[in-house]
Amino acid sequence: MTARTEAQPGMDAGAALDIRPMSGHLGAEIHGVDLSAALDDATVAAIRAALLRWKVVFFRDQHMGPEEQIAFGRRFGEVTPAHPTLPAALPEHPEILVLDSDESQSLGGTEIASLWHTDVTFVPNPPMGAILRGVEIPEYGGDTQWLNLAVAYERLSQPIKDMIDGLHAVHENRINMKRGELASEYERRFRAQNIRSVHPIVRVHPETGERILFVNPNFTSHVLELSRLEGRHLLAMLYEHMTDHEFTTRFRWAPGSIAFWDNRATAHVVPTDVPPGMKRTVHRITLAGDVPVGLDGERSYALEGSSFQ
């Protein structure tokens, strides 16, 4: 795709970034910026504007360590602990969640079904965003896909919108296993404590005002206002709709690649095609989020567990 330079509305023209959109509805690569350097306010504002527009932005050839990754994240919000239940693998950097294909396999993670999800929606204030850094990347395989939940809502028919606009769903920290296997050590760690929260099925984005389809097949359990049978069918329909390829983008990783996504408006899926004998290690940080608000003005709330910050 031909590169183009965009200056965001209301910004100093000197802060224009080289932004290269990747698909029709989300995803853009940003070039010409060193994220390990001290970024000026105009550049930070430009990156944030691009994030709101494209929902997930990518950077190539970034020479960063854990300190620089955390410092970059702090320009956009409060960096949270690594995860509500999983232990941090880097004691000196408790904000970083290490996602390692070898470790996941040793703990039985290969038996977990990789489903579309928005990160940590089982807490009452899911992260605002996440920043993932490629550390060790296989020669091929291991791509990540994202989807745009704002466009997914927009493309629903009006009768379906009318039905779901006032509904709420329970999200919990469960892990879906393949073919009914027994719980793995990874799952036991993930479910070290029970965490459940209620969110609107349609949330209002706090910065853009967009309506977001806020359910996902990994963590959404059931719809409060419907019977379990009705809710299962409704959620199945929404999952099938939202994962339409038109709403997605795909990113090919390389060492030094960075992905920064708006966790309020996207879902993503973890790759399962790392070739045997190769390894994939990425480091993730998350930014503290707000409490979602539905179209009726009702705020999300916890059933078990507490806020994530």
Q: Mean pLDDT throughout 68-84?
A: 97
Q: Which of 171, 211, 280, 284 is catalytic?
A: 284
Q: What is the pLDDT of residue 110?
A: 56
Q: What is the CA radius of gyration of the chain?
A: 19
Separation in Å, CA 2 to CA 17, 52, 231: 14, 21, 44
Q: What is the pLDDT of residue 253?
A: 96
What residue ranges do the domains of the chain occupy? 4-304
pLDDT higher than 60, residue 5 = no
Q: Which of 119, 133, 168, 283 is catalytic?
A: 119
Whether 212 contacts 265, CB under 8 Å: yes
Q: Percentage of residues in the chain with pLDDT exceeding 90?
A: 78
Q: Which of 211, 268, 280, 283 is catalytic?
A: 268
Q: Which of 83, 117, 133, 264 is catalytic?
A: 117
pLDDT higher than 60, residue 125 = yes
In the sheet where 281-287 sits, what is the strand order? 4-6, 17-21, 28-31, 56-59, 258-262, 129-136, 281-287, 97-100
Whether 165 contacts 295, CB under 8 Å: yes
pLDDT higher than 70, residue 4 = no
Q: Mean pLDDT throughout 277-282?
A: 93
What amino acid is encoded at 243 in this protein? Answer: T
Nearest to 35 by CA among 79, 70, 86, 84: 70
Q: Which residue has the higher pLDDT, 237 or 193?
A: 237
268 catalytic, yes or no? yes
What pTM was computed for the model?
0.92
Mean pLDDT of the chain, nearest integer: 90
Q: What are the E-state strand segments in the chain?
A: 4-6, 17-21, 28-31, 56-59, 97-100, 129-136, 144-148, 168-172, 196-200, 202-204, 211-213, 220-223, 248-251, 258-262, 266-269, 281-287, 301-304
CA-CA distance, 6 to 294, in Å (whole number)?
Answer: 32
DSSP output for 140-203: S---EEEEEHHHHHHTS-HHHHHHHTT-EEEEE---PBGGGPPPPHHHHHHTSS--EEEEESEE
Q: Which residue has the higher pLDDT, 26 or 272?
A: 26
Helix %, strand %, coil % for the chain, to 5?
Answer: 25, 25, 50
Which fold is adopted by the domain 4-304? Double-stranded beta-helix (3.60.130)
Q: Per-residue pLDDT tens for 220-259?
A: 999 999 999 999 999 999 999 999 999 999 999 999 999 9
284 catalytic, yes or no? yes
Q: What is the pLDDT of residue 147?
A: 98
25 catalytic, yes or no? no
Q: Per-residue pLDDT tens for 133-150?
A: 999 999 999 999 999 999
Q: Mean pLDDT throughout 78-85?
A: 95
Whether 62 contacts 34, CB under 8 Å: yes
Query: 272 falls in which pLDDT band (50, 70, 90)?
Result: confident
pLDDT higher than 80, residue 179 = no
Q: Per-residue pLDDT tens for 95-112?
A: 999 998 876 554 555 556
